[in-house]
Amino acid sequence: MHTALLGAVGDQGGVVYLGMEVIAEGVLSGTATNIELSGISADYTNLELIWTGRTTNSYGPGTCRFTFNNDTADNYGSNYGYRQISYNYTSAQGSSNNYYDADGRFRAGYTATDGAGSPAGYFGMSRIYIYNYSQTTHGKNYTYISGTPGSYNQNYGFQFGGGYWSGTAAVSEIDFDCWGDTMYAGTSWQLCGYG
């Protein structure tokens, strides 16, 4: 699935929300295995990508994977800062995992899945913040928060973390998938720029 973004700030009556310009948004009407957001202008300082998703993954919560500028080299790293699984809303567990993302993508958040016991019709949600994406002198950092119902057959999974891309080019394209799993119709995204 390919989505071309609007141009400069204010083009075509872009919507402003909490100081952010909504520069692309969409909802899958059918299924897809990846989503490509291209043509991101360098008119902002930071980006925020908000998306909800559900996949056909049969063995656990779906992990979201992203690339910048179609770079699939070993230029990403990420840290799952904390993960909480609620058991009947009475207890939780935490963990921290560091990843050198040698598959040429960075990991950021969950989707709801069939295999994780997510109730029918429920979607996972992630918010990814990409800082100083338009500068061209050093790499880019990101942070995220994410949650999904029914993670690993429990009530709810929550995760936050961050990472980096070592590329120095301005981010003009973001692609994401769920390890090749099929994303259901209703998966949605909204890309905002601000600053």
For the segment 24-46, what is each residue's pLDDT rounded down to a tens digit? 999 999 999 999 999 999 999 99
Is the pLDDT at 73 greater than 90? The verdict is: no
Averaged over 127-155, what is the pLDDT?
83
Averaged over 147-159, what is the pLDDT?
65
Structure tokens belonging to residue 111: 């989707």
Is the pLDDT at 101 greater than 80? The verdict is: no
One-letter amino acid of 185: A
**Residue 37 pLDDT:** 96
Q: Residue 86, Cα to own-chain centre: how many angstroms? A: 22
Domain count, the chain: 1
Beta strand 156-165 with 76-86 is: antiparallel
* Total Cβ atoms within 10 A of residue 79: 16
**Residue 2 pLDDT:** 39
Query: For residue 140, what are the domain limits?
Result: 2-194
**Residue 128 pLDDT:** 92
Question: How far is the C-alpha of 83 from the C-alpha of 62, rounded, in Å?
Answer: 14
Q: Cβ contacts of residue 137 below 8 Å, gap of 6+?
A: 168
Lowest mean per-residue pLDDT among 24-28, 40-44, 101-105, 172-176: 101-105
Lowest mean per-residue pLDDT among 2-6, 35-39, 145-149: 2-6
Averaged over 105-126, what is the pLDDT?
76
- For residues 110 and 89, is the Cβ–Cβ distance under 8 A? no
Structure tokens belonging to residue 107: 């990991």
- For residues 158 and 95, is the Cβ–Cβ distance under 8 A? no
Question: How far is the C-alpha of 178 from the C-alpha of 61, rounded, in Å?
Answer: 10
Is the pLDDT at 132 greater than 60? The verdict is: yes
Is the pLDDT at 172 greater than 80? The verdict is: yes
